[in-house]
Amino acid sequence: MYLWNRLLMTSPARFTEAAPLLMDAVGYVNSVSDHTYNLWGTVLGQTGGFGVSALCTDFGALSDEMAARGMGDETFRDKVAAVGACMDGSPEDTLWEIVHSVGDWPDAPAVLGNAMFQAMPGRLPDAIAWAVDLNSYLGEMSGAAGVVCVSGWGRPNSVRLYYGYDSISAWQERSAATQNDAGWLERMQAVVGIGDQGTLETGVFRRLV
């Protein structure tokens, strides 16, 4: 299974306009697509950031469908143009392979916790093994619903962990318990030298569509 993700950053001057336009555009795409797209708004992280994501087993089919829509669907192009006028810079697309999962993972959780980093040179296999071990441990410890993703395209040699929650309150409660756990702290020490700490990004996102 693959996860396609598009990161967009809005202009501060047009931030309040962007969310309704993005929700309209993603909702329209879902009405005409063979795939399901989700829209995410930043809760913790860089303000003004939005993400669009889709799960797929065949990225070629997903990509071909997106390209055909961009060339042949005037309604879609109009909606994208309206969104584009609110953006600050070009979007970033990445593709992630889901290599491990734990818990009862919904197709689209209400809230998403994200941690992402690049492996040190030559340490990608170690970084993947570390992430799988952490994910398994958190699943056993607290019943966490999480996935480990790996990217070689867009964010090369990167590892990402996603955790799904029913609410921000559930995320806060689970995070507080995890960060005081001895096993979690031990694993945070173990990743030193495996992951490039200068590339670490974390965030919390709320699903809008």
Residue 32: C-alpha distances to residues 2, 66, 201 (Å): 21, 11, 33
pLDDT digits (tens, 9 = 90+) for 159-171: 999 999 999 999 9
Residue 83: predicted pLDDT: 98
The torsion defined by the Cα of 99, 105, 107 and 109, in degrees rounded to 10, comes to -120
**This prediction's pTM:** 0.94
- Burial (Cβ within 10 Å: 0-12, 13-18, ≥19) of residue 104: exposed
Q: Is 131 helix (H, G, I), strand (E, B) or coil?
A: helix
- Structure letter (DSSP) for residue 124: H
What tokens were used for 158? Answer: 């990167």
Q: Catalogue all structural domains in the chain, each as residue range(s) with its CATH number.
A: 2-92 (3.30.70.100), 98-207 (3.30.70.100)
Q: What percent of the chain has pLDDT over 70?
A: 100
